[in-house]
Amino acid sequence: MVLDVNWAVKWLTLCAQAMAEHRVELIELDRAIGDSDHGENMDRGFQAVLDKLAEAPPATPGAALKLAAMTLMSKVGGAAGPLYGTAFLRAAGTMGDAAEIDPAGWAAAVSAARDGIVARGKAEPGDKTMVDAWAPAADAAKAAADTGGPEVLSVLVAAAEAAEAGAVATDPLVARKGRASYLGERSAGHRDPGAASSALILRAAVGAAA
Ligand code: ADP
Ligand code: MG
Ligand code: MG
């Protein structure tokens, strides 16, 4: 298995599928601690990414992610649009013009995505945001790339599993950033919608390689 442009396009396609499938769930999560639009925003954004991919097929994984970044930035809106736009743009930056991404390359891309989200949103781990999915995912991907063999699937899986665990771990947290922070203590007991959608994105990266 190699992470080439076909993988990248399939990843974005599976992201769009996941956002459509989980649209209502993400809306419900955002209804509890936000303004109910996260599922709608993400579904619309990734559908637009699919349209752009069809219009102008990218030549490299980096080009695919850059196209996704630009589209998410302009179509998702709210807090998540610029955050995901920055994440995909930074990840694309680590890939450059490479035709294939290796285990260390995937770890670098996830780390850059995390760093971009932190630079843009200024949230720290534990603030009950999407950082709580991306930070453990970046750490897990790096650990898997450092210790593992040349098999990239295990690095994709490590990132997805860590993101999923990180999203679940937002349940008891009190939000300190974003709209949910307006609720203070009442934000506890609900999963952060952006952490949930982030876990879907990183799980889709596994699906595209399977
Ligand atoms: P909005 O809150 O503008 O309606 P969305 O509902 O699309 O935007 O996205 C909300 C998600 O954005 C939250 O669940 C959280 O994960 C993420 N988020 C909000 N603010 C920040 C921030 N400062 N840093 C990181 N993530 C954030
Ligand atoms: Mg919202
Ligand atoms: Mg909103």
Q: What is the pLDDT of residues 190-208, one digit of tens each?
A: 999 999 999 999 999 999 9
The pTM of the whole model exceeds 0.90: yes
Domains present along the chain, CATH in parentheses: 5-209 (1.25.40.340)
**Interval between CA 109 and ligand 3 midpoint (Å):** 27
* Percent of the chain whose pLDDT exceeds 70: 100
Q: Looking at residue 106, what is its pLDDT?
A: 98
- Residue 150: C-alpha distances to residues 29, 54, 99, 102, 106 (Å): 38, 32, 17, 8, 12
3 DSSP β-pair partners:
101
Q: Are 114 and 138 in contact (CB under 8 A)?
A: yes
Averaged pLDDT, 65-71: 98
61 lines ligand 1 (CB under 6 A): no
Residues having C-beta closer than 5 Å to ion ligand 3:
35, 37, 78
Residues making up the chain, counted from first to last: 210
Alpha helices by DSSP H, listed for 1-151, are: 5-21, 23-33, 38-55, 61-75, 80-95, 103-121, 131-147
78 lines ligand 1 (CB under 6 A): yes
Residue-wise pLDDT tens digits, 120-154 = 999 999 999 999 999 999 999 999 999 977 789 99
45 lines ligand 1 (CB under 6 A): no
Averaged pLDDT, 169-189: 98
DSSP structural state of residue 183: G
Structure tokens belonging to residue 98: 């490479």
Q: Going by CA atoms, what residue is nearest to atom 16 of ligand 1?
A: 194
Averaged pLDDT, 55-60: 97
As a whole number of angstroms, the distance between CA 204 and CA 210 comes to 10
